[in-house]
């Protein structure tokens, strides 16, 4: 199916690996010209053909600097912004529960998972209005089940989901569509890396990491019985970015294998 995206201009944040990398690759395959921002530019990102920009998006000026480079590289306004950057949910210091988190950890989580999107959107919106473009925010099903992960992370993601709803209402009349994608556990370094959140959680539970990963889909109620693949999330993002989804806005799309059971 032709997604009618050929020649359009996009920025993807948090693009070096996992979901962000899959989104960049999927957009590039549709003929989208992509500027990809990430703290570390990986060889995999370079191979997508995107313009890779090393940038720390958790800093106050990082998102605006990325948008300035994008405007220069793409020769004008954006058609699409994908706010994917996030994290702060890795390591042994994330599994101790609410009382274990410091003010600094809360600040870091909100800077990365919410404020990076706020700042990138602020910088991109004038152009997106001119182009009648689209924004896709990558949240988490943890926003609906904030007990299911590190509380600063899930609460920040809940704020990101609310942010998308507010933007859709305010800027819909200007022609900008805003949607949220909320994955469940995805097969990424967060779960599979030996120093990621999955490894830390396994250690806290007295399990081998392989045991945790094997049991995870059933434990969190994923009726598919497996983790979500990054390419599946990317395919949903591409659809939401497409003119074919022109009447979809202000929606939060779960892609979590059926883990969230509520209506």
Q: How many whole angstroms separate alpha carbon 88 and alpha carbon 108?
A: 7
Tokens standing for residue 65: 């600097």
- 190 with 198: CB under 8 angstroms? yes
Q: How many whole angstroms separate alpha carbon 18 and alpha carbon 10?
A: 18
Chain center to CA of 100: 26
CB burial class (10 A; 0-12, 13-18, 19+) of residue 11? buried
Residue 237 phi/psi, 5° resolution? Answer: -60, -45
Among this protein's residues, is 197 annotated catalytic?
no
Tokens standing for residue 82: 């994908």
120, 128, 134, 153: the active-site residue: 153
Pairing of strands 177-183, 252-255: parallel
Question: Could you say which DSSP state residue 195 is in?
Answer: T
The set of catalytic residues is 153
């Amino acid at each position: 199916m032709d997604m009618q995206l050929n020649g359009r201009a996009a920025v993807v944040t948090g693009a070096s690996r996992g979901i962000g990398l899959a989104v960049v690759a999927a957009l590039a395959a549709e003929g989208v010209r992509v500027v990809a921002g990430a703290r570390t530019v990986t060889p995999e990102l370079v191979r997508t053909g995107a313009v890779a920009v090393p940038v720390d998006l958790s800093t106050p000026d990082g998102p605006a600097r990325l948008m300035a480079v994008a405007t220069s590289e793409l020769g004008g306004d954006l058609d699409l912004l994908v706010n994917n950057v996030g994290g702060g949910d890795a390591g042994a210091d994330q599994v101790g529960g609410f009382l274990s988190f410091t003010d600094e950890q809360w600040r870091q989580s909100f800077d990365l998972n919410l404020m990076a999107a706020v700042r990138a959107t602020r910088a991109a919106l004038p152009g997106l209005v001119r182009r009648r473009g689209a924004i896709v925010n990558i949240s988490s099903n943890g926003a609906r089940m904030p007990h299911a992960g590190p509380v600063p992370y899930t609460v920040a993601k809940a704020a990101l989901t609310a942010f998308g709803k507010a933007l859709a209402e305010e800027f819909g009349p200007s022609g900008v569509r805003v949607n949220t994608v909320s994955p469940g556990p995805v097969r990424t370094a967060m779960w599979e890396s030996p120093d990621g959140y999955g490894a830390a959680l396994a250690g806290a539970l007295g399990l081998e990491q392989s045991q945790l990963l094997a049991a995870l889909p059933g434990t969190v109620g994923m009726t598919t019985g497996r983790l979500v693949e990054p390419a599946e999330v990317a395919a949903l993002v591409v659809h939401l970015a497409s003119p074919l989804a022109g009447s979809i806005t202000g929606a939060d799309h779960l892609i979590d294998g059926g883990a969230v059971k509520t209506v």
